[in-house]
Each structure stands twice: as C-alpha cells, then as structure tokens.
Structure 1
Amino acid sequence: MPASLSVETAAPLASAADRLRQIAASTVRPDLLGRIDAASRTLADATVRVVVVGQFKQGKSSLVNALVAADVCPVDDIVATAVPTEVRWGQQVSAALVTTLTEDARTIRTPIAPDQLRRLVTERSGAPGAIGTLHAEVTLPRAALAGGLVLVDTPGVGRGNARAATNLTLLPDADAIVMVSDATQELTDPELRFLQQAAALCGRVTFVLSKHDLQHQWRSIHDADREHLADADVDARIIPTSAFLHSVALRDQTPGSRERSGIDQLAAHLQGPVRADVVTQRQLAAAEEIVAVGRLLAMVAQSELDVLLDPASGGVVVHDLERAQKTAEQLTQRSARWQQTLADGVEELIADVDFDLRDRLRKVGREAERLIDSSDPGRSWEQIGAWLADSVTQAVSDNFVWAHERSLHLAGVVADHFSLDGRAALPELSLAGTDQALRAVGGLDFIGSGRLGIGKKLMIGLKGSYGGVLMFGLMTSLAGMALVNPLSLAAGLVVGTFAYRQDAQTRLDGRRAEAKAAVRRLIDEAIFQVGKEARDRSISSKRVLREHFVGVGESFKQSLAESVRLAKRGADMPKPERQLRVERLTADLAELRALCEQAASFSTAHASVALRSAS
C-alpha cells in the first residue's frame, strides 16, 4: 500500500469528520458525536504497534535493541525475557512496570530505574503477574520511534512455559508481528504452528531470519524457511538480519557491515509499507464511520425536507417513519432476532469450544500414554513432563485462537441484523489470557525412578532362587545327591533371574500405571481450569456484543425519533419560516451527501490501489 494514499486522504477525512461534528452538534445527538470523535481519534492515531515474537533465545531482544540503537532490552545467553517490554518514543529515558489487575482491569503503574529492567523483566524475577498481567514500558528519544513505531519484546514460546501464552493476548491488538527465528536451523513444527496462530490473529507478519552471521549456509535455511511458510499458507516477507553485525557497524562506522546486518532494511520495511498499510486501514475504518454517521444525519434532514416541500404528504411520511421507528425499537428489545441469534450463538460457541478443548487435550493425553508405554517413565519422566507441558500449552493456544475466530464470526452474524443503517458495525473483542488458568493447573506428580540398590536386587534374586534350589534339590535327592548340589544351584540361578525380571516388569508396569494416572489428572485439571476460563471468555464476548449492538440500535432509533419529531414540526411550520428551513436543509443535505461521497470515495480508492498492488 503506497504511503501517498494515506497522506493524501488524511486531511480531507479529518476535515469531513470536523464538519460532521458541527452538524451533529446542532441536532443534539451525543451518541453521534461520540462516534465522530472516535473516528477522529482513529485518524489521528499514528501509533504502529509491532510485537516481536519467537522461541527462546532466537535474538528477539537483540533485534529490538538494534532497531532502536540502544541496549534497552536485557540480553543474556542463559536467562530469557519473562515479561513483555514495550519500547516507544519519549523525550526522556524512562521505564515503568504496569500491572493490569485481573478482576477489575485497573492498572497499577510503578516507575522504575531503567537499569533495573534486567532484574525485573527476566526469568530471575520469578513468576510475574500473580494478581494480573504484567508488562514493562520504556521510553527513548530515538528517531526510529518518533513516527509512532512501538516495539514490544515478548517472552519466548516453548519450554512448556504457561506465561508464553501471554504472547497470543498481545497479537489481536498488534498492528504487525515480527516473527524471529535464527539461521542455525530451519523452522520447526512448533514455530510454524505458533506462526499460523499469530497470522490468524494479526494478518501483517514479517519473518526475520536472525543471527545469519553465525551460519555460512544461511541462504539454504532462508530458502527452506520460505518453502515452510508457503506450505503453512503464511504470507510473510523474509528479512535476514544480524544484530551483532549492526552493533559492530555502529561502533566501527562501517557502512558495508551495516547494510549486511539487514537491520536498516527491517526498519525501512516497518516504517514504510507496514506503517502505510496500518494507517490506511485506520483511515478506511474512519471513512466507513463517517459515511454511517453522515447517512443517519442525512436521513433526518431528508425526512424533514420531504414534509416541508410537500406538506400534504406529511402524514404519509410521518407514518412511514413511525413504522420504521417501531422496527428500530424492536432491535433494542430482548426479544429481538439479533438477541436470539446472539444467545443461541454463544451457547453453541461455549459447547463447541468446550468440546474442542476436551478433544485436543485428550489427544495429548493419549499420545502421552503411548510415550509412557514405549519407555520407562521413571527414567524419562522429566522429558515426558516437558513434552506434555508444551503439548498442553499448544493445545490450549490452538483452542484459544479458534475460539476468538468463532467469536469474531458470531459478531459478523449478529451485525447482519443491523443492515437498516447501511453498515454492519463490529465491536473490538479483546483476547483474555490463559496463563492464569494454565498456572492453576500445576505440574505432574512425581514418579520415582524405580532404581534399586545392590542389596535390594540381591534380596529379590535370593528370594526367587530359594524356591528353585529347594525344588530341584529335592528332585535330585531322590537320585542320592545332596540337597544343595550344582544342578539345584543352577536351577536356583535360573529361577532367581526369572523372578527378578518378573519383579522388574511388575514394577515397570506399576510406574507406567502411576504415570498414566498422573497424566490423566493433569489433563482433567487442565480441562477444568481452562474450560472455566473459556466459558468466562465467551460470556464476556456476549456481554460486549450485546452492549455494542444495543448501542447501534439505540442510535438508529434516536435518528428515526428525531426524524418523526422534525417531520411533525415541519408540517405545522408557517410558510415564510418553512422556506428558510427548506433552503437550510437543502444546503445541509447537499453537504452531507458530499461528505459521504468524499469518505466513500476513499474506500473505492483503497480497493483500486489494493487491486493494482495485487496484480
């Protein structure tokens, strides 16, 4: 999307919004004023929020530091980032920890010294967010951030870390995503799955192949990753980078190294095409809101003008408006069709999400049991536990993303009932995190290694061999041999070995049964805890949708009520006053239509430019 389109349309759209605000103010419509003010804020918003994601130790923090040319995000070879860190422009260097309380969504902002970030946002800080979600905010006076670019460094995904699921909650509010994977190996299956989730929540994805200075064959990795992205149906530009080369280039002032680092290319991509597309989409949303408000105001003006131009038909006009008003009133009643659609849709959503969650987690449980049957859980329990934690987090995240997509689909279905005003308005649905629920699940029960000391092994062997020695000794004694003889000792050794193996197998079966029971308890607890979170999230979405669409219905009802009032007034208006009012309404209506056409033309220009870009 060319940046020129955004620049050329920003001023006319802002001017149209200002004029609509003046017209709406004269009609005493605070609801329309609120919508216009929201559109104006959207037009004025130059922030481009870029969330940097990836697995542990892929170079996300180093990449953010390179983009802002400052060591703001802690970088460590062992300790990883544990708290999302937001870096934005500010006149002074500052830092703060922000806690969003889970219960009432209030925020607590605690200023900190910038040099304390390493201690507070890495894994050394322990488990953050005990009473809510936690993130850090940093401001820097950097030219790269002055245009509104905001970079968010996030914890790495993987390691079975429950708080890594927090990354998904950041993505619906993100304007763009930068997925980081180093050049030492091709994209892994977990990375691809996460990338697909991320692309489903935010369509603007840039793939960064980091640390290419460490791998001479990075171009082969680059080509392989391109194929993986194509197979996963993820549309993302790939940019190779090296934060190390960039830092060396800044230190030694070597333009060649700086160009090879790829950091400047990434910055240009984010500040150019990505920013232009973000701004254009915001302007498109604002233009649609301007058109919707303009049509509501034009409807009121047109109704009054029709009565003023032909007073004899005023009764018919008023009757038609009152009938439309009754239809609009039905939209705000609890028995309205959209209310029923919403209620039924949420019930189906809760049932489908619960079934999907159970199905995914039970598949994880069955796979874990197969792993247990193919190994000794006493010896591989740590590895099985790590795999299980990753798999449960992945299953919950998949369910998490799928539920959000279903909620957005339900919003669109409900919005179809509001086509009366020519616009299917959709609210913004927030994405609550699952990390609290995952932390409540806890961990796997401990399974002993099953290893025996020499003494216990000897006792088991002697206990089994005793019967063999006695039995064969009695048999050989009939032939005149002693009770303890070479044959009875050999038989005792064979029987003792068999008994030891049987005992070992029994103990192994016991450990496997105990491990399977532990897995089932974990899966059941995950279904219980995450299922409750999923139901709460669906109910919250229902509440948001209901309040939003009730507001839409009320706005349309108020417009019709105002039309009825003005139409009735116009029918009784004296002729001299009527003529002046006709002239005023004609001018206002022409201006409103011009404003709507001006805003609507942006959508046409947007579509034609997008078509040219695609071809």
Structure 2
Amino acid sequence: MFLAGEEAMPTVIEVIDTAITAADAYHREDLVARLRQSRARVLSQEVQVLVVGEFNQGKSYLVNALVGTPVCPVADDISPAVTTTVRFASEPEAFLVTGDSREPIEHVADIRSGTVEVRLPRSVLDGGLTLVDSPGPEPCDAILIVSDSSSEYTDTELDLIKQAQLLAPVVICVLSKMDLYPAWRDVAELNRAKIDPPLVPVSAELRMHAMATGDAQLNEESGFPELLRVLRDALARRSAVYDVLAATDDLISMMTDELESLRSDTFDPRSIRWQQTLNDGITDLIADIDHDLRDRLRDVLRVAEAELDAVDPAKVGDEFAEWLQQKELECTSATFAWMMTRARWLAGHVAEQFGDGRVLPEIREAPELTDAVSEYAQGEPEKFGLGQKLIVGMRGGYGGTLMIGMASTIVGVAMINPLSIGAGLLLGGKTVQEERKRLLQRRQADAKAALRKHVDDVIFQAGKQSRDRLREIQRTLRDHFAAHAEQMHRSMVDAAADRKTRMRDLNAELARVRELARAAREVAA
C-alpha cells in the first residue's frame, strides 16, 4: 500500500471531524468545505500527485519512468495541453474524459488536448497513488516540480515552486536528466540553496533501462527509489492532517485577532473577513489568469507550426506575421478581459463582507499587449537565385555527363554525345530540385524555431503584465476597503452585551483549537 496503514484511519477521521465542527461553529464555510474534501480523500485512500514543470523539462518522461511504461507522449513538438491521469487498475485501459463521460481510446499519443485517464496494473500505483501530468499546479495532495539539470532555477521556476507550496501540503523538486549533464551535482547544490522543499536528482533513462533489465543497482542510481521514499515519507507525515493544521492555524489567527481587537475595544469581524477574501481571491486569480494565458497562446503555437509545415515561410512571411500578431492580440485580449471581469467580481465579493451596497472603486482597464514584445521575425532566408541554380545544376549535371560519357566510350562512341548530355541535364535538374527542397525544409525549421521563441517571449511579457496589473488592482481594492472599514469603525456603536464574557468564551475556544492542532501533529508524527 502506498499510504499509511489502515489502523491510523479512525484517529485521522476523528481529528478531521473535530476540525469540521470547530470551523462550522465559527461560520467558516470555506474551511468546512476544504476539510470535508480532505475527509473524503482519506476515506478513499487516494493520493493525487501532480507532476508539473516548464515545457521540455522531462515531466512526461518522469511519469513514464515512475510507472515503467510510456503512458504520456514524449516529443519536442507536443504541447503539454493534455492532462494525463494515471491510476491503478487490474487491466490496462485508457479513456478520454469529457465532463462526467469517459470514452475508451486506443492510442493516448493521438490526443492533442483535453484530459486522458490511463489505468495500469502497476505496484507503485496500487494503494491509491494517482499521478497527474498537468500543465499547471492546482490543489492536490502533493506536487512534483520538474526541471532539467542543464542550469539552475530561473525566476519563473522559483515562482512556480512558491505557487505550488500554496496549493499542496507536499512539494518536491525533481532535477531530471542528470545522465545528460555531468555538472548536475553543482546545479543541484545551487538549486537547494534557493528553495525550501526537498530536491531529488533523477534519470528517467537509467530508470527505464533498469526496469527493462531488472538491474536493482542501476535503478537505485537512477534516483527514483529515493524520490518514492521522499514522497512516501512526506505524505505519511503531512498529507492526512495538512488541511486540519491549516484550518486550525487559520482559526487560531482569527481568534487571536478578535481577542486583540476586544482588548483594545476596536473589534469588527468584517475587518478580518474582507482582508482574507481579498488576499485569497487575488492569489487564485493570478494562478488562473497565468494558466489561461499559457493555454490560449500554446493553442496558437500548435496551429501556427502546422501552418508553417504546409507553406514556404519566405513567401508568406508578412502575411504570417500579421496573422500571428492578430491571434496573439485576440488571446491576450480575451485573457485580460476575463481578468477584469473576475477582478470586478472579486471587488463585489469583498464588498459583500461589509453587507452594504456602496459604490465600488473604479478599476482601470488592462492595456492591450501591443508594444510589450518585439514583432515576430523569421530572419533573411538563404538566397537561391538563377546563378546559384546554374552552379548547383552544373555540379550535378557534370557528374551525370561524365559517368554516361565514359560508359559510351567503351562501345566506341564519343564521350560527349546526346545520351551523355541528356543524362547531365536530367541529373542537373534533379540536383536543383533537391537543393530547393532542402532550403525549403531549412526555412520551415528556422521559422518554427523563431516562432517558439517569439511565443515564449509573448507568454513571459503578457504574464508579467497581467501579474503587475492584478497587484495594482489588489492595492486599489485594499486602500478603498481599508478606508471604508475605518469609516465604519469610527461610526460603529459598541453593541456587545458583555465583552468580558466574549473574551472568556474566546479563550476557551482558542484552547480547544490549540489542543486540536496538537492532536493533529501527533497523528502526523
């Protein structure tokens, strides 16, 4: 079994149920919902582990190596738009998941978008472990952040790790492809100095070879046994009670703030709720907008690469660049429009915490992404004019003329004759055609490389612009509602019947919640 033994189950459930009662008594519906989800996960014994990372870092190959079979497509030209879920079953099977429906499929590699569920009879999955090859992080039991060993973490990867720590109780950083980079140990040390989560170097190639040959020592050298040990240890200690500890910390903080406010005679419960609502909403909005932007632009990238495979980039350069710019503008405009809609909804949701219908603050529209990145440029194509054609054709034709001419001399015919001249013309023309085809393929490859670099630049710049805009919105809403809360407090009449009684009750509740947190830590230990 992947999880801890069933004998610990009653204690975990008892602690979670007590936490649900405490959160419900304090009217924290958000915590109640989260704890009930945690209770359902514990009862099902399913542990969901997301595998995320930047493009082409080896996360799909990591999932394949964990289960010992190629369940996730691995190729440089495949976008991570497909979410692949791998769980245990007694017989292999695969489905395309759409809503509540599951359609059986034969070849997972044929799916280019959506959600695929693969079930395999693998011992590593038996007991509830579920692996999810996902485009981005989301709430789950554990998250593996995959980055290759070529270089130390970038700012984008460090941001991804911080985001994952907000969404899962267990975060493990995986340094992939250590077999390809001799300096992986230096990279690992540099990365460990930058992060809090554990970091485990692995080699999927060594793992797959070890599983194919049954080589236990090579399997240990691949790093995958160590990764599974770290994952099991972290989950066993933290996953079952993480939500309980998070809930108790939240309740303790709330009760402590209320006590401090009562002691200074300045308590207003709404001053706590609106700040929590605003901070949580902005955090969720930043993650959702970043994921939506990446998903839209990667769809454009797939379509654009397919278009370049069918045309000569040198002939459609201007039209293609104009089409690409228009598509990018449509994607970023749609994402920014959704961002502003969500931001205004969040402002209204925060306003509901005050229970009045006052005018909301004005939120400035997000600007379009027009000058944030340079225009797409393919570069100057290699020329193949009449002079180059003549040179290439003469080079190919010379060989054909010489070969046929020398064969003709054997039968007493002159070396230069109509047959040898015809052969030279034929081979010269074929050589010109092959050179033209080679140059076309080279132009297509160069254009697609420039396209990928350009789209990555757009994703980076647009993502930064969206995050900056959301932080500006957060400051605007914070200042507005803080001023309103202060005004309400100045005009509020103390309606508490007995403040001392409330403080005594709060201290008793605080002691019970702290005892609950202590019990949760004992379960984790």
TM-score (norm. length: structure 2) = 0.49
**Structure of higher CA gyration radius:** 1
Question: 1 or 2 for the larger relative contact order (CA 8 Å, sep ≥6)?
Answer: 1
TM-score (norm. length: structure 1) = 0.43
Bigger helix fraction: 1
